[in-house]
Amino acid sequence: MRFSLFGLFLILGFFASSAHAETDWVSFTFDNDIFLASDGGYTNGLYLSLYDTGNEDAHPKISWLLKPIMWTISDENFSGGVSILSLGQSMITPQDISERNPPEDELPYSGLLFVNSSYLLFADKYVEKISTSIGVVGPLSMAEKSQKILHKLLSSDQPQGWDTQIKNELVFQFGRGRARRLWVADSMAWDFIGTNELNIGTISSGINLGGFIRYGTQLASSYGTTLLDSARITNPSAVGVGWNLYFGLNVEYIFNQIYTDGNTFRDSRSIKYEHSHLGATVGFRYSLQRYSLTFALSDLDIVNSELQDLTQFGRLTFAYKL
């Protein structure tokens, strides 16, 4: 019962926060390694996101979750913005989910249930981003129940080792990022975007530098949302019109992450890992009037072959303009 009550608390908090904003778009994202015929590592993520794009007279309202880091950004020189509120659940499993007691040198079972608030402010050729996430890991995340239901629907093998997952713990993360259009082709059909982001918290802390090349239409209206594509914790689809193909690379150095380090304040399973990663993403987005569909394939570490099956996943997002 306590699992359901805690999940209900987060869900009610999510909708209570959204009630104070004008919602223009809503999106649902499904991350899963089944798109690449594997099962392990970052194995599943579900995200419901609400967007407030503001209007000509005012920027979107700012969530109370962002108040602690608002001092890092000013909206005086920006022409517009997007506020995103997301409710999400992600899960990590070892490579062999048939083991009831997986080897301790493999990724531990872990789940994260969280609420994330992100805010983007747009200038002519760059976008600023701040974000805050709060949530819980451990059995209270309800990741075990979600994975077993999903595997039953997909007729996949049931995971056997969730009794070894990391323990219940409240977690948080603050993020600060920027995306800049560094090059635009004369035809306006190509562009290149550089991104940088700093995250600090018990979910994870790290520095991320990346670049995306895109080909398509209406690129100017959606370039800033590459900051959302590169952040696994938010994952909502880009809002806007038109279509584009994109390919991105990012270099990341991780100081800490709860999925591999285990609990911050309690003893739990943990593993040794490489702190530096080179990731890659290739994807396609298509928007038509009130609808947007995005599909991408990502690998969080294309260099470390030992983790190849644990870092690859596909992402499918459907967004609807209200």
Residue-wise pLDDT for 251-260, tens only, equals 999 999 999 9
Per-residue pLDDT band for 1 (boundaries 50, 70, 90) equals very low
Mean pLDDT, residues 251-271:
93
Two tokens, residue 306: 């030992």
Is the model more confident about 112 or about 38?
112
**Could you count the other beta carbons within 10 Å of the beta carbon of residue 31?**
24
Two tokens, residue 17: 């926060």
* Lowest model confidence (mean pLDDT) among 169-173, 204-208, 317-321: 317-321
Two tokens, residue 70: 């608002």
* Lowest model confidence (mean pLDDT) among 142-156, 200-214, 234-248, 262-276: 234-248
Report the amino acid identity of residue 144. E
pLDDT tens for 197-236 read: 999 999 999 999 999 899 998 887 777 777 766 444 333 3
d(CA 187, CA 174) in angstroms, rounded, equals 38
3 sits in which H/E element = helix 2-18
pLDDT given for residue 15 in this prediction: 61
Number of domains in the chain: 1
Strand partners, 89: 46, 113
pLDDT tens for 91-148 read: 999 888 889 999 988 889 999 999 999 888 888 778 899 999 999 999 999 999 989 9
Torsions phi, psi of 79, nearest 5?
Answer: -90, -15
d(CA 239, CA 58) in angstroms, rounded, equals 18
Looking at every residue in the chain, the average pLDDT score rounds to 83
Whether pLDDT at 307 is above 80: no
d(CA 112, CA 135) in angstroms, rounded, equals 7
Q: Taking the complete model, does pTM exceed 0.85, yes or no?
A: yes
Two tokens, residue 4: 């359901």
Two tokens, residue 10: 């987060």
Torsions phi, psi of 280, nearest 5?
Answer: -140, 145
Whether pLDDT at 44 is above 70: yes
CATH number at residue 75: 2.40.128.140
Structural domain boundaries, residue 201: 2-321
pLDDT tens for 63-77 read: 888 988 988 887 667
